[in-house]
């Protein structure tokens, strides 16, 4: 994987997290289980994004 690919994957995960946070806000008035599902998915996406950002940093240092 290249540094650029890692950064693109991190950006994708960040966007997925934002979409899930927005969905959680939209469905906030609905069932609480739905809201927590979106919030949990957003949290996982942010964790993945952080992993890809660290990978990109490591790949940058190798160059």
- DSSP letter (8 states) at residue 28: T
pTM: 0.81
Give the integer Cα–Cα distance in Å for 27 and 2: 38
Q: Could you tell me which residue, 2 or 36, shows the higher pLDDT?
A: 2
Indicate if the pLDDT at residue 40 is higher than 90.
no
Buried b (16+ CB within 10 A) or exposed e, 34-62: ebeebbebbeebbebbeebbebbeebeee
pLDDT-derived band at 27 (thresholds 50, 70, 90) equals: confident
Average pLDDT over residues 30-59: 86
Does residue 9 surpass a pLDDT of 70? yes
Q: What percent of the chain has pLDDT over 90?
A: 56
Residue 7 · residue 55 · CB < 8 Å: no
């Amino acid at each position: 994987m290249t540094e650029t690919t890692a950064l693109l994957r991190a950006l994708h995960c960040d966007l997925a997290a934002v979409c899930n946070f927005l969905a959680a806000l939209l469905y906030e008035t609905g069932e609480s289980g739905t809201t927590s599902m979106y919030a949990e998915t957003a949290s996982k996406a942010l964790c993945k994004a952080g992993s890809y950002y660290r990978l990109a940093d490591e790949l940058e240092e190798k160059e």
